[in-house]
């Protein structure tokens, strides 16, 4: 009997991916259907539906669920869910579709699944952005994504045909919830913490993971493999840097590096909750939540993602946050420390952040020796030195990162 946490809202994973004898006939039938193209974000969501990462959802949300999730973080049947999972299209495409019919979903020129259309509806995009992102400013990359999507949402259950190129591009890293659960059981892990990252791990990240290792059977460093905003470090570089760090600075069988197929939404506190929801499906009892989790710019306070977990109704979310205070290198302590463990003044503290590291590297500046491990810096410097001028993006610091 496994000791792992149950999936979200279900006793078992609910993957919607067709396999085996069902797949080829469904793919053949789909070639005769009307087609709806997906954005990169929507394709990532479709894959998560396919592999059971969004258990217990059966497809893209209808209007009542969209509104309930935006306003109250729950669907009409009471399921806790913090960010709407929706599919949008242009008005002309929607007008050609009839409720009740099956349509083919496409991405990158191929059919990746089908949707049985139950509902077509328009939304107030500003309402969604205000609730999910707490802003309607289009400088926010998540808001920009919503504002640029189609005007009509399509809702209904899906069948999924493809995981894209993630299994090939990130062989050994990309894993489904069934695969991580099997790996945890193989390792004898019951209490597992997830560490969410879209950055290579600097010393502060490393410290957070090691804190969790002290109180859990193991930690899954779970790297986002989908699209990021310009200037962020690509997934292939990031996963290579993480592998090097794990190989050199962690005890065997305490860390598993894995990846998942979503694009980043930069929704701060709401995205922290989504991270916890699907980490529950991946088998993790805890989510490490540090400073400015899933944030961008100055849109969220450094610990808004801590506070939002206190608003989750009891029993609605089984994966719990490991809330960890500011962490930094303290010259007086001569070690990594946090606000709870270091008694020294700010002048002794080197505050670490992914954006500050990206800025130093992108400008060819010196990186303090206590900021990141030398093996990691070697990989990151090679990446930045190989960038063409047109691919370089100015990294702007905000909040604590600017100090």
Name the pairing type of β-strands 35-37 and 110-116. Answer: unpaired
For residue 336, the SS3 value is: strand
CB atoms inside a 10 Å sphere around CB 259:
23
- 164 or 1: which carries more pLDDT confidence? 164
CB-based burial label for 316 (10 Å; 0-12, 13-18, 19+): middle
| Whether residue 399 has pLDDT greater than 60 | no
Q: What per-residue confidence (pLDDT) applies to 389?
A: 67
Q: Which domains does the chain have, with CATH numbers?
A: 20-164 (3.10.400.10), 171-260+266-402 (3.40.50.620)
Question: What's the pLDDT score for residue 397?
Answer: 53
Pick from 143-147, 213-217, 356-360, 398-402: least confident? 398-402
Alpha-carbon distance 254 to 116, whole Å?
Answer: 43
Note if 29 is an active site residue: no
Quote the mean pLDDT of the chain.
93
Strands (E), 78-184: 87-89, 102-107, 110-116, 119-122, 152-160
pLDDT class of 402 with cuts at 50, 70, 90: very low
Quick one: pLDDT at residue 363? 83
| pLDDT per residue as tens digits for the range 329-354 | 999 999 999 999 999 999 999 987 77
pLDDT score for 362 = 82
Reported as a pLDDT band with limits 50, 70 and 90, residue 1 is: very low
> Average pLDDT, stretch 264-273?
97
Nearest to 185 by CA among 217, 215, 212: 217
Could you tell me which residues are beta bridge partners of residue 114?
Answer: 104, 159
Q: Which helix (H) or strand (E) holds 260?
A: strand 255-260
Give the CA dihedral 107, 112, 114, 120, nearest 10 degrees: -20
Q: Is the confidence at residue 311, as pLDDT, over 50? A: yes
Residue among 153, 181, 199, 349 flagged as catalytic: 199
Sign of the alpha-carbon dihedral angle for 314, 315, 317, 320:
positive
What is the per-residue pLDDT for 384? 86
User: pLDDT over 90 for what percent of the chain?
Assistant: 84
Model pLDDT for residues 209-255, shown as the tens digit of each residue: 999 999 999 999 999 999 887 778 889 999 999 999 999 999 999 99
- Whether the bond into 56 is cis, omega within 30 of 0: yes
Catalytic (active site) residue 199: yes
CA distances from 278 to 34, 42, 86, 220, 402 (A): 31, 16, 16, 13, 32
- Does the global pTM surpass 0.85? yes
Q: Which of 41, 198, 291, 358 is catalytic?
A: 198
Both structure tokens of 152 = 């009509």
pLDDT the model gives residue 231 = 76
Residue 199: what pLDDT?
87
366 has pLDDT over 50? yes
- C-alpha separations of 171 from 22, 99, 168 in Å: 25, 39, 5
- The bridge status of strand 102-107 relative to strand 327-330 is unpaired
């Amino acid at each position: 009997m496994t000791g792992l946490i149950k999936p979200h809202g279900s006793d078992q994973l609910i993957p919607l991916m067709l396999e085996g004898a069902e797949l080829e006939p469904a793919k053949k039938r789909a070639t005769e259907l009307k087609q709806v193209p997906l954005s990169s974000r929507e394709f990532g969501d479709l894959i998560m539906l396919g592999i059971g990462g969004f258990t217990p959802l059966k497809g893209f949300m209808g209007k009542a669920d969209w509104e309930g999730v935006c306003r109250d973080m729950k669907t009409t049947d009471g399921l806790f869910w913090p960010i709407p999972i929706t599919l949008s299209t242009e008005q002309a495409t929607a007008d050609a579709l009839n409720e009740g019919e099956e349509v083919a979903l496409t991405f990158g020129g191929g059919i990746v699944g089908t949707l049985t259309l139950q509902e077509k509806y328009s939304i107030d995009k500003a309402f969604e952005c205000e609730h999910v992102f707490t802003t309607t400013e289009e400088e926010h990359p998540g808001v920009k994504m919503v504002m640029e999507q189609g005007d009509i949402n399509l809702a209904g259950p899906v069948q999924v045909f493809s995981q894209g190129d993630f299994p090939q591009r990130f062989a050994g890293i990309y894993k489904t919830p069934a695969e991580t659960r099997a790996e945890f059981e193989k390792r004898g892990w019951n209490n597992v913490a997830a560490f969410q990252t879209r950055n290579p791990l600097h010393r502060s990240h490393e410290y957070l993971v090691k804190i969790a290792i002290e109180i859990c059977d193991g930690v899954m460093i779970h790297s986002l493999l989908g699209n990021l905003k310009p200037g962020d470090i690509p997934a292939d570089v990031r996963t290579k840097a993480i592998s090097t760090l794990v190989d050199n600075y962690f005890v065997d069988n305490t860390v598993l590096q894995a990846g998942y197929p979503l694009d980043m939404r930069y929704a701060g506190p709401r995205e922290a909750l989504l991270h916890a929801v699907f980490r529950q499906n991946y088998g993790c009892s805890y989510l490490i939540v540090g400073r400015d989790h899933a944030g961008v710019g100055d849109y969220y306070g450094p610990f808004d993602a801590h506070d939002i977990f206190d608003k989750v109704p009891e029993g609605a979310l089984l994966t719990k946050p490991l809330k960890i205070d500011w962490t930094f290198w303290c010259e007086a302590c001569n070690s990594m420390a946090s606000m709870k463990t270091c008694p020294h003044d700010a002048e002794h503290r080197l505050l670490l952040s992914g954006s500050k590291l990206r800025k130093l590297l992108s400008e060819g500046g010196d990186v303090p020796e206590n900021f990141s491990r030398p093996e990691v810096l070697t990989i990151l410097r090679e990446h930045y030195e190989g960038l063409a001028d047109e691919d370089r993006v100015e990294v702007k610091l905000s909040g604590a990162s600017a100090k």
